[in-house]
Chain A
Amino acid sequence: MTGEIVLETRNLSRHFGGVVAVDRVNFTLWDNELRCLIGPNGAGKSTFFKCLTGQLSPSEGDVVIRDFHAGGRQPHEVSRLGVGIKTQVPNVFDGLSAEENIWLAARRWQSAKRAKVVTDQTIERLMLGDIRKDHVGVLAHGQRQWVELGMVVAAEPWLVLLDEPTAGMTQEEVVRTAELIREINETATIIVVEHDMQFIRMIANRVTVFHEGKILIEDSMDKVSQDKRVREVYLGHRQK
């Protein structure tokens, strides 16, 4: 890999009591990458992800985003760097309209006037026009995911972290999400945590496989899917 390193973890660990969810991970992400994180259930992907975003503080080690030491910081401080974050369980403002949700994201960084423009653009870009006035709480799971993606996009981030963005989506929505992610990748570096192998094939160039809190292998999708150990731990788990 070449170019500038934008995110790095150094010996990052996170324990829950006796459980070691993330175990001394050294991870490096370069500018403009679209990196996929995969791994079986309980491999520690979401825990790793939450350490990057400030939702959890590391038990040991550090997270560095550009020059900023993000380990143990608050989520809003990480976000303030220009990082867009989508969590595994959709986190949206249920009692507010889709439009208001997206406006709140846009308005954080923009003037009132510009926020309005960005909100409209985002709604158009994600084709949320039909549901813009609907309360997000009553929408289908896939639509809620899209509203959340809309919030990420509307903040115009340079680094985007997505935890299972296609969970609960229909096949058609998955395809559209893959398109959107590639589009976002034109202006931003991305990490996507995913389960759906088909989806990963659609977008991936470089894949990091987690297993029992550690990085098992990191390579192109073709190499990774042919790796014996990966088949054992990951595909084996998937088949049960």
Chain B
Amino acid sequence: MIRSREVRWSLVAGAIGIIFLFAAPQVFELFAIINLTTVLALAILALSLGLVWGYGGILCFGQTTFFGLGAYAYTIAAINIGETTGPIFIAIFVAAAFAAILGYFIFYGRVSDVYLAVITLTVTLIFYSLLRRTSGPEYKIGNALLGGFNGVTSPPLNVPGDPSNILFPEHVFYVAMAALILAYFFCVWLTRTHFGRVMVAIRENELRAELLGYDIRLYKLALFAIGGGIAGMAGVLFANGIGRVTPDIFNLYNTALTIIWVIVGGRGTLIGPILGAIALFYLISGLGTQATVNNNLVLGIVLIVFVLLVPRGIVPGVIGIWDRTQARSKLLRKEKRLRRRRTTRQPEPEAANDG
């Protein structure tokens, strides 16, 4: 029953996504469309953390590491190769491979949850400070100057096989939206496979999963690498939305933000983190146009409110309320039916007494 409801929810989400995919360029101005590409990139990043944390129980405090690596790898590869289709795959591969290597040390070293959070956070901050120091002309990979804190300009996507045919911002938006929908359904599918169900089992009880014969180190490593690859793909889109990559991708603010998206949207769901990322992006950019309240203050308040009042996040919270009202109205209907039956039976006093 739970599963069929999930299917319904994800189909609704998919349908809304597809409608949005085709309607948005008709409705919005160019600036908003470019902005949307960035938002969708962030939503995919949120999805990747929602998968790793919500389903695998792996609290990765540096999901932006793989996001940033994807963005940089795409940009550097695209500058060197002169087209962008190959670099997309290179970026996903680099991000996933780095996650796999990092995950190997974490999971095979049996690092505890707290240290996992600390290590992943530290790694992303190391990238931040290292890349900031690359402003000299000697820091180049192939033809790509790393550019220190100014970063590198990212070549926009081109039509596969035709490097001179560069996509318009609307088309990049289509690509981003399609990527989000694909990534979302990939994750939904993954969580239903044997692999995904074992991941949930590991989240619930690591020892029991091991005693059943599952090598939890390998499972966690695999999920971590998949999450890293998805984050890397998000990085490619982000580079396209912003038009350049800078070390700020790896800063503390961004990595904290990813955690907040997932907390707000809801762990243990896939649509929740996506909605969390989109909602907070527009909240912050709405606040950005005025000067009375500080963004970070608002973010902090949002986080505290959610942790204290909606600890499961928006989506699980709403589903919970929905279930409760459904159950109550079912009960009411049942009572009404019973009462009606009783009133129709009234002529026979004995039968009425039975109830």
Contact = CB atoms under 8 A, between A and B. Distances in A.
Interface of A: 53-55, 74-76, 79-80, 85, 87, 91-96, 100, 103-105, 107-109, 112, 133, 151, 155
Nearest to B197: A104
Nearest to A81: B213
A79 B212 contact: yes
B201 A104 contact: yes
A151 B216 CA distance: 17
Interface stretch (B45-53, B124-132, B203-211, B244-252): B203-211
A80 B207 CA distance: 14
A100 B197 contact: yes
Contact of A109 (B198, B201, B204, B213): B213
B321 to A, nearest CB: 19
B104 interface: no
Given A92-B208, A93-B208, A107-B194, A76 B215 contact: yes
B205 to A, nearest CB: 5
A139 B135 CA distance: 61
A80 B198 contact: no
Contacts of B194: 107, 112
Interface in B182-240: 194, 197-198, 200-201, 203-205, 207-216
Nearest to B210: A75
Given A87-B207, A104-B198, 6 more contacts: A54-B210, A74-B210, A85-B211, A93-B201, A96-B204, A104-B201
B295 to A, nearest CB: 35
Contacts of B203: 95
A9 B205 CA distance: 28
A155 B207 contact: no
Contacts of A96: 200-201, 204
B204 A74 contact: no
Contacts of B211: 53, 75-76, 79, 85, 87, 91
A230 to B, nearest CB: 31
Given A76-B215, A76-B216, A93 B210 contact: no
Contacts of B209: 104
Contact of B205 (A85, A93, A109, A112): A93
B208 A91 contact: yes
Contacts of A155: 212-213
Nearest to A79: B213
Nearest to A100: B197
Contacts of A92: 205, 208
A155 B213 CA distance: 9
A108 B197 contact: no
A35 to B, nearest CB: 20
B64 to A, nearest CB: 28
Contacts of A105: 212
Nearest first, the 3 closest Cβ-Cβ pairs linking A and B are A79-B213, A93-B204, A75-B210
Contacts of B1: 133
Nearest to B202: A93
Nearest to B1: A133
B208 A80 contact: no
A18 to B, nearest CB: 25
Contacts of B213: 76, 79-80, 108-109, 155
A164 to B, nearest CB: 15
A237 B204 CA distance: 37
B83 to A, nearest CB: 42
B108 to A, nearest CB: 11
B214 A76 contact: yes
Contacts of B198: 104
Contacts of A109: 213
A92 B206 CA distance: 10
Contacts of A133: 1
A92 B208 CA distance: 6
Contacts of B201: 93, 96, 104
A95 B210 contact: no
Nearest to A137: B204
B216 A55 contact: no
Q: Which of B194, B207, B210, B213 has the most CB atoms of chain A within a 10 A radius of its CB?
A: B213
A143 to B, nearest CB: 16
Nearest to B215: A76
A132 to B, nearest CB: 12
Given A96-B201, A104-B201, A151 B212 contact: yes
28 contacts: A53-B211, A74-B215, A75-B210, A76-B211, A76-B212, A76-B213, A76-B216, A79-B211, A79-B212, A80-B213, A85-B211, A87-B211, A91-B205, A91-B207, A91-B208, A92-B208, A93-B204, A95-B203, A95-B204, A96-B200, A96-B204, A104-B201, A104-B212, A107-B194, A108-B213, A108-B214, A112-B194, A151-B212
A93 B203 CA distance: 9
A91 B206 CA distance: 9
A155 B211 CA distance: 11
Contacts of A79: 210-213
Contacts of A76: 210-216
Nearest to B214: A76
Contacts of B204: 93-96
Nearest to A75: B210
